Structures are given as C-alpha cells and as structure tokens.
C-alpha cells in the first residue's frame, strides 16, 4: 500500500472507532438499557455521529482521499489498496452530500422513533408512532434529494444499503420471483397442510432452548472468544471489530423453532463478520460487502442448511433429548415437515421460506409509494392490510401484527427491506454452487460437519470483506448475475418433496 493510501487508512481509524463505539451503545440500548435511559442515549449517539461526520467530511479527509485516488490509479481494481480507496470514496460522498444538521436530526429522531414504535406496538396504537414515522419519511425524502438520483427517489435510499442496485433492477428480479412463487404457493395451498402442532402443544423450557441455541452456534463455527449471544426483542447481529461480533435471539415457550432459526440466522451473519480477514479490521474494507450479501449468508445457514433434512438427521436426536416430553412421539420426518410448514401469516420474521418474500414485496411497494407521495403516512395501515390480503390472502387483525411489526422504520431506515429478498436470491445462487463444488456436502451435515461449507464461504465471500458490491461479488465468486431462478429451483425441488406436489 502506497504512502497516501496508508495515510488515508490511518486517518479513517478515528471515525471507524467512533462508529463502533456508537454500535456498542446501540447494542446496549436493545439488550440492556432501562426505559428511562433513552433520552441520554439519543444525545450520546447524536454526539458520536456528529463527531464521526466531522472527521469524515473534513477538508483534510478530502485532500487525503484525492491523494490516495491519484496513487490508486493504475492499481488492480480488485487489490486491497484500490478497494479501500473506493470504499472510502463511497463513504465520503455519502456523508458530504448530507448536511451535518440533517445527520444529527436523523439520529435524534430515530432514537425517539424507536421508543415510540416500541410503545405503539405494545399498545397496538399506530397513532403513537405516526408523527415520528412522518418525520422519518420527511428526513428520508430530504436525504434522497441530497444524495441524488436519476430515475426514482427510492434509488438514492436503496443505494445506501445495496450500492449498484437500482429500483428498476429490484422490480425486475421481484417480478421474476413473484411469477414463480405465486403458482408454487397455490399448489401448496391446495395440498394437505403439514402439521407443526407439537410446537405449540406444550411449553419448551426457555433455559433449555437457550442452551440448544448456544450449542448450534458453537457447532456451525461461531467463535465465542470473539462474540457472545444475548436476548433481544428483535434479534440482530452487531460488531465492533472482527474480534467482537455479537448476536441476539429471542425465546418463546411455545415457539422453540423461533429461537433456533433466529440464532442460526444471526449466526450466519456473525460467521461472515468473524470471517473477514484480520488485516481489514478497523478499515473501510471490514464489515461485509452489502446488506444483501450479508443476508445471503444468514439465510443460507437458516434455510438451505438449518431447515434441511440432513441438518436434522444430526440434530434431531440431540434436540429431542433436550425436550423428551414434548417430542417423544414426534419422528424426525414429522419434525422436518413441521419446521418447513408453509402457512401465510402476518409476521415477516416468523414467515416460512415460500411466503417470506411476499412480505418483502409489500414493504418495497409501500416504501416506493411513500417516496413519491402516492401514499400518505396516515394511510399506511390500510395500504398494508390491503396488500396482505392481495398477496397472502389474509388481513392482519391489528397494526401490531401489521405495519408496526418491523423495527426498520423506527431506526430511520427506508430502502432496506429489498436487501432481504436480494439476500435470498444470492443465498440460493451461492448454495447451488457450493453443492456442486463440494461433493458430499449434505452427507457431512448428517454428521454435524459444517466446516467445508464455512471454508467455501470464507473463500468465495468472506475473504473479500467489503471490497465489492453484490453484482461485483457474484461475478467474481460465481461468474453470474443476480437471478431469481436458482431460488425458485431450490424451492420447487424442496417443497415438491415435502408436499408431494
Ligand atoms: Zn438477517
């Protein structure tokens, strides 16, 4: 790495440290903080964010970046040095395009919005959240104007989470997916339903559930010397370094599958973060490529691995030994069918693989409409419910199970939801290739062996850190563009067997 690039890298240590310190406070807010701590916390987060912003957007940062760009000219696009300069430029542009005042206001509003959202959801009262959601939408509209876009204001917001992807690309992929999903869901709906009543028939001890999730995390390769698991209302993964990557899960006595798949999902995110090369730590190259790529990792561990027959051939005897009373009469086949039951329901995070993306289509369409003014914040509950009726054939009984269920808007994030489905698409593309490259992959799962898959992901995805956008990464690791067909093929094969289609 040349001298100018090295200087840029060193300069960015301080804002990156500040960002990670803010992440510690954010983790604490969701895991430990008492209710009354919120105001002080929002001020602290705003201060840290303003300090980071000041350093990143300073004149000095601008000079360092220009000098580094001059030095990077002619370097291989894929090299660490050139990629670091590109990542720094993306961050710099994003920040310098936004006035400090807007960034500070956004942080303050999102901290208050989170508390209002939580109360609104508890009391099932959209009116509590509505004014703060209005402010959030207004701030995002302002952001879009500052960030700039060509075709659609939503492009600017999407670009924050999934660079290189445009609203039109997402529309095309989602249309392809919808075209295949609708008939599949129709055939499933006409088949005999699968039974998962053994989950809700009795309580599954919370402490034993916790123990089982810890075992799963350890087995799939999550390093507890560089991480920990806690409980949170809305499970998430966060990291303050490649050597401190934390996950959360949630425990319900009559939904043990919720804790299992939350932990494996967040574990997938965490394996990615823990797999970023040490030399990228504390630099712009750490942190995973994009949200969609991140989600491809979590969803692969959750679905392609965690809901497979091979996985449970190994784990079911262990799990049943944890809960002999509840599962004594339940066979492996029954259990496997139970965890893969397709059932249109209201809650996205509890949704099965087939209906999951329909939940995303709803949010994507509403967010787009909010950004063009076609939808008013006051009308969100009605618009939400109408689309659930259209796509899933069900109407949420209340807003807590409808438009108040997700945390994202309360954090100020609009443009984020599509990354979940993009992640699902990529998980299927990557997994299909892993199966081809690693004969005996699934036979290994039946013996509790996950290392070959993890090593493959380390090489194909994790080792790149955040060097590439999602389309760039897929080109390099698979030689492919993002496509809906592999996910449709995977689902068709799996659910044909499960439902005798
Ligand atoms: Zn996730």
Q: How open is the CA angle 256-257-263, to the nearest 5 degrees? A: 100
Residue 306 has pLDDT above 90, yes or no: yes
Mean per-residue pLDDT over the chain, rounded: 96
Residue 111 has pLDDT above 90, yes or no: no
Would you state the structure tokens that stand for residue 91, as one six-digit string? 């961050």
Using only C-alpha atoms, the chain has a radius of gyration, in whole angstroms, of 22
171 catalytic residue (yes or no): no
Q: Could you give the percent of the chain with pLDDT greater than 90?
A: 93
Give the pLDDT band of residue 1 (cuts 50, 70, 90): confident
pLDDT of the residue at 233: 86
Helix axis angle, 206-220 to 309-322, nearest 10°: 140
Query: Which CATH architecture is the domain 167-499 placed in?
Result: Orthogonal Bundle (1.10)
Q: Rounded distance, CA 239 to CA 129, Å?
A: 29
Question: Ligand 1 is a single-atom ion; what residues have CB below 5 A from it?
Answer: 298
CA of 297 to the centre of ligand 1 (A): 8
Residue 305 has pLDDT above 90, yes or no: yes
pLDDT of the residue at 4: 97
CA of 200 to the centre of ligand 1 (A): 25
pLDDT of the residue at 107: 84
Mean pLDDT over residues 412-435, rounded? 97
CA of 425 to the centre of ligand 1 (A): 14
CA of 249 to the centre of ligand 1 (A): 12
CATH class of 3-148: mainly alpha
pTM of the model: 0.95
* Catalytic residue (choose from 71, 162, 266, 302): 266
Would you state the structure tokens that stand for residue 306, as one six-digit string? 């965690």
Domain residue limits, the chain: 3-148, 167-499
CA of 401 to the centre of ligand 1 (A): 20
Q: How open is the CA angle 257-258-261, to the nearest 5 degrees? A: 80
pLDDT of the residue at 53: 87
CA of 24 to the centre of ligand 1 (A): 19
CA of 125 to the centre of ligand 1 (A): 27
126-144 in b/e burial notation, b at 16+ Cβ within 10 A?
bebbbebbebbbebbbebb
Distances (CA, A) of 420 to 26, 96, 291: 22, 28, 8
């Amino acid at each position: 790495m040349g001298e100018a690039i090295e200087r840029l890298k060193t300069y960015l240590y301080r804002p990156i440290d500040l960002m990670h310190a803010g992440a510690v406070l954010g983790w604490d807010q969701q895991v430990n903080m008492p209710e009354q701590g919120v105001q002080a916390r929002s001020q602290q987060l705003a201060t840290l964010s303003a300090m980071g912003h000041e350093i990143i957007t300073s004149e000095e940062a601008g000079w360092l970046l220009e000098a580094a760009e001059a030095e990077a000219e002619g370097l291989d696009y894929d090299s660490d040095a050139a990629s670091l300069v590109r990542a720094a430029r993306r961050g710099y542009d994003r920040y310098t395009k936004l006035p400090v005042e807007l960034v500070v206001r956004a942080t303050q509003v999102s901290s208050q919005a989170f508390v209002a959202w939580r109360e609104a959801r508890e009391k099932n009262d959209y009116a509590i959240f509505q004014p703060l959601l209005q402010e959030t939408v207004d701030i995002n509209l302002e952001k879009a104007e500052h960030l700039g876009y060509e075709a659609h204001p939503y492009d600017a917001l999407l670009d924050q989470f999934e660079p290189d992807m445009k609203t039109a690309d997402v529309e095309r992929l989602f249309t392809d997916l919808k075209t295949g999903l609708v008939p599949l869901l129709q055939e499933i709906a006409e088949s005999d339903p699968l039974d998962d009543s053994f989950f809700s028939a009795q309580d599954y001890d919370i402490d034993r559930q916790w123990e089982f999730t810890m075992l799963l995390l350890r087995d799939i390769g999550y390093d507890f010397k560089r991480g920990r698991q806690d409980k949170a209302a809305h499970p998430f993964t966060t990291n303050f370094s490649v050597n401190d990557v934390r996950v959360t899960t949630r425990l319900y006595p009559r939904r043990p599958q919720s804790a299992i798949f939350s932990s494996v999902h967040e574990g997938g995110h965490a394996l990615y973060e823990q797999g970023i090369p040490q030399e990228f730590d504390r630099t712009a190259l750490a942190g995973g490529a994009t949200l969609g790529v991140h989600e491809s990792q979590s969803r692969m561990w959750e679905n392609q691995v965690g809901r497979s027959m091979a996985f449970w051939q190994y784990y079911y005897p262990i799990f049943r030994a944890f809960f002999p009373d509840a599962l004594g009469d339940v066979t492996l086949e029954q259990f496997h069918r139970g965890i893969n039951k397709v059932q249109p329901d209201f809650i996205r995070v509890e949704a099965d693989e087939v209906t999951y993306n329909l939940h995303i289509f709803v949010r994507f369409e509403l967010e787009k409409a909010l950004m063009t003014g076609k939808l008013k914040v006051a009308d969100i509950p009605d618009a939400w419910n109408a689309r659930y009726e259209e796509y899933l054939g069900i109407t949420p009984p209340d807003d807590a199970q409808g438009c108040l269920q997700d945390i994202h808007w309360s954090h100020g994030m609009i443009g984020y939801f599509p990354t979940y489905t993009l992640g699902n698409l990529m998980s299927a593309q990557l997994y299909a290739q892993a199966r081809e490259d690693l004969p005996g992959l699934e036979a290994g799962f039946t013996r509790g062996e996950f290392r070959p898959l993890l090593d493959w992901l380390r090489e194909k995805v994790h080792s790149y850190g955040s060097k590439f956008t999602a389309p760039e990464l897929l080109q390099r690791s698979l030689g492919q563009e993002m496509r809906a067909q592999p996910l449709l093929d995977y689902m068709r094969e799996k659910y044909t067997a499960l439902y005798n289609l």
